[in-house]
Amino acid sequence: MRVAAVCGWPIAHSKSPLIHGFWLSALGLEGAYLQLALHPAEAATAFRRLGAIGLAGVNVTVPLKGLALAAADRVAACARDVGAANLLLVEPAGLVARNTDREGFVAPLRARGPALRTALVIGAGGAARAAVSGLRELGVETLTIVNRSAGRARDLAGLWPGARILELAPGLMLPPADLVVNASSLGMAGQPPLEVRLDRLPADALVYDLVYAPLETGLVAAARTRGLGVIDGLEMLVAQAAPAFEALFGAAPPRARDAELRALLIGGAPVPAVSGETALPASPAGAPLPAQLRRGEGG
């Protein structure tokens, strides 16, 4: 039985166990997908012990994506281009870092097929780096980066020389753009709200919020009120999870059942994150699981 997990700090909000558990069950695979609360201070040590405790790999979420990249023995081109890793795979030669965020970010935009010339990205972390990389792949010509920290925004602008940088302040009036992306944690449950105004966006603008908990963020609600197109965080979440699932469990997920999966994610129906045997392989003597690497609560 293959065992994988999602790790982050915090992690209780994660829907990844529900997604991977649904796919394991749908395919009839024996496997388990766990939720691990991992403090950044312990990440480097914990990542080196993934194989020792029987994990095939882990999905990585905030704030550990840069640490995951640094811990890898080999970095795939997708992670190197973005400068962050959201997937660590345990292989005989060591840890391999990958990034499926860019692929997941781009997929809903390709499905809609909008012609995008100008884009605005809020945030400057790992998700923002994936978004910026994906926008370049889509042929976007002009980029504005909005962030609370000008230093981090300038770091992100290294991926896009000539990008305009704006400081994020409450009530900021966003400049016109074909696409607005919230790649920050603002608006997420337990985080401060994202307080921006959309008045200057054109009527055909698209608003893409990567936050999925709650699904109806303040940004999404404001966009709907204006009649703008919306992509919510669940679309990217599922799209980035698909290649990770295949890498972790060796089978392509049943994407034909996406509508059923989305209904479960919205409704929070209990789908087990374990299929087949339920016991996590024991950590061998001499390689104890760090105290901060523990099974999360809820999710």
Tell me the one-letter amino acid at 22. Answer: F
Residue that is written with structure tokens 């990770």 in the block: 244
Taking alpha carbons only, the member of 119, 95, 91 closest to residue 105 is: 119
For residue 214, whether the previous peptide bond is cis, meaning omega lies within 30 degrees of 0, is yes
Cross-strand partners of 193: none
DSSP E strand boundaries for 105-205: 118-122, 142-147, 164-167, 172-173, 179-182, 196-197
| DSSP letter, residue 185 | S
The gap from C-alpha 267 to its chain's centroid, in whole angstroms, comes to 20
Pinpoint the alpha helices (H) of 149-255. 150-157, 218-225, 233-249
- Residue whose tokens read 């790999």: 57
Q: Are 172 and 184 in contact (CB under 8 A)?
A: no
Give the DSSP letter of residue 13.
Answer: T
15 belongs to the catalytic site: no
Can you tell me which residue has the tokens 């020792």? 52
The active-site residue, picked from 13, 65, 98, 129, is: 65
Rounded CA-CA distance 181/186 in Å is 12
CB-based contacts of 257, cutoff 8 Å, min separation 6:
22, 26
219 within 8 A of 194, measured Cβ to Cβ = yes
**First-last CA distance in the chain:** 23
- Which pair of tokens denotes residue 116? 């995008």
Q: Return the active site residues.
A: 65
